[in-house]
Structure 1
Amino acid sequence: MSERFFLYDDTEETNIRFISFMGEASRFDLAIIQSSRYYGKKLVLDIQSNRFAIIGQDDLDEPNYIETAFNLNNEEAEELKLFLYEVV
């Protein structure tokens, strides 16, 4: 077996918020991770769908970013965006 070549191997303290809420269209179970990586953006994990994205305010305004990242329809994506505008 050849030696592993690590690009990086860091350990870091993070803040994680676990939140679950029910919208009109669907339920969201999220983990929102804040660290010093990702240029001030947050890592948002949707535990129900096993999908995640690195999200900042600019990404919320990007057309179809949330829909594509989390595989949501327009109504579901709008509910998630409204919540994320409050926490990102």
Structure 2
Amino acid sequence: MEIFDKLYDEHEKVTVRFVGFTTESTRYDFGVIYTNMFFGKPLVVCMQTGRSTLLDSNDIEDIDHLQQVFRIPNKEQATDLADFFRESIPVIPFETQYE
């Protein structure tokens, strides 16, 4: 008897970028996983805390979202992080898979 409905089970070769950098006040270490899943949004993982999120160019502009997801203590640090992501995360046009 099956107790769950499988929604997907995909195997994919992905590109992963590991990057560490510092700002005036903070060190960051991230893994950025580029995949065809999740509407093309890269999965960004903080290697220090394990916190992760899917990010696209719209998400990067939401400083409050970055601050909340990565538990950044102030807006200045979140803005620094957004500046880095703007340069690092490719702009991918959003295409919905549901109609």
- TM-score norm. by structure 2 comes to 0.79
In structure 1, the partner of 2:58 is 58
In structure 2, the partner of 1:15 is 15
Query: Structure 1 or 2: larger strand share?
Result: 1
SS of residue matched to 1:64: helix
Contact 2:63/2:75 (8 A) holds in 1: no
Deviations 1:24-59 (A, max 9, x none): 121000000100012221110001121111000011
Contact 2:63/2:78 (8 A) holds in 1: no
What is the rounded CA distance, in whole Å, between the counterparts of 2:75 and 2:62 in structure 1?
A: 13
What is the rounded CA distance, in whole Å, between the counterparts of 1:63 and 1:19 in structure 2?
A: 20
Residue pairs, 1:18-37, within 5 angstroms: 18-37=18-37
What is the rounded CA distance, in whole Å, between the counterparts of 1:51 and 1:4 in structure 2?
A: 29
Q: Give the aligned length.
A: 87
The code of the aligned residue for 1:36 comes to: N
In structure 2, the partner of 1:78 is 79
Could you tell me which runs of 5 or more consecutive residues in structure 2 were left unpaired when the two chains were aligned. Answer: 90-99
Contact 2:63/2:79 (8 A) holds in 1: no
Could you tell me which runs of 5 or more consecutive residues in structure 1 were left unpaired when the two chains were aligned. Answer: none
CA RMSD of aligned residues (A): 1.5
The code of the aligned residue for 2:77 comes to: E
Percent identity for Structure 1 against Structure 2: 31
- TM-score norm. by structure 1 comes to 0.88
